[in-house]
Amino acid sequence: MAISRERKEELVALYRQQMAESQGVVLASYTALTMPQIQDLRRRARELNAHVFVIKNTLLDVVLKEQGLKAPEGLLTGATMAAFCHRDVPPVAKMLLGFGKEMEEGRFQVKGGIMERRFFTQAQTQALADLPGREVLLSQVLRAINAPASQVVGVVASGIRQVLNVLQAYVDKLEDAGKNAAAEAAA
């Protein structure tokens, strides 16, 4: 069914807006998905702050060309869905790959995507999905930053403990000397 020129312009504007607001886009091919399956996919994407659209390849190509990008051969062919990632791309890529595994063979497959004005392949999408989440990465960075400070605290505390142990030994020695002197005086 042909789309009117006005509808095409609306879709180009929508894709342009989504691209501007996104950290990246993950593209997938699909065949024979039911409406409940598509709605489930869109719900999962919204939980990750992403929006999934069934796209017109030629219209997305127009938006890419406006931005000076040329899609690799075969990326924008067939029935295509685009997940526009408004926060982090790796969790969305992981979710889409998992969704593809839940479907029957060949019904949903991630093709690649775009991030930081660069295209990535299906294999790179898998590598991207294997990255730890944002919270995990942040905790690793904080641990790395905090480790030297913890070591310095341990060294300083160790030095203070040693000084306190020497002082306590001296106090104990003086107390023993005082007790021995008192015992000799009493005898």
| Co-location of 35 and 99 in the same domain | yes
What CATH number is given to the structural domain containing 37?
A: 3.30.70.1730
The whole-model pTM stands at: 0.71
Check whether residue 9 and residue 54 sit in a common domain: yes
Last residue of a domain, one of 103, 131, 159: 131
Question: Quick one: 12 and 56 in the same domain?
Answer: yes
Handedness of CA 31, 53, 61, 57 (dihedral sign): positive
Residues 9, 51 within the same domain: yes
- The domain boundary, picked from 84, 113, 131, lies at 131
Identify whether residues 11 and 94 lie together within a single domain: yes
- Check residue 73 and report its DSSP letter: T
60 and 146 share one domain: no
3-state secondary structure of 27: strand
**Cβ count near 62 (within 10 Å):** 15
Same domain, 142 and 124: no
Q: Domain of 184?
A: 132-187
How many domains, in total, are found in the chain? 2
Exposed (0-12), middle (13-18) or buried (19+): which is 56, by Cβ within 10 Å? middle
Same domain (yes/no): 43, 124 = yes
For every residue of 162-185, DSSP letters joined together read HHHHHHHHHHHHHHHHHHHHHHHH
Give yes or no: residues 9 and 96 share one domain: yes
Tens digit of pLDDT per residue, the chain (187 long)? Answer: 678 899 999 999 999 999 999 999 999 999 989 999 999 999 999 999 999 999 999 999 999 999 999 989 888 999 999 999 998 899 999 999 999 999 988 899 999 999 998 999 988 988 888 877 777 778 888 888 877 777 777 777 777 888 778 888 888 888 887 777 777 777 6
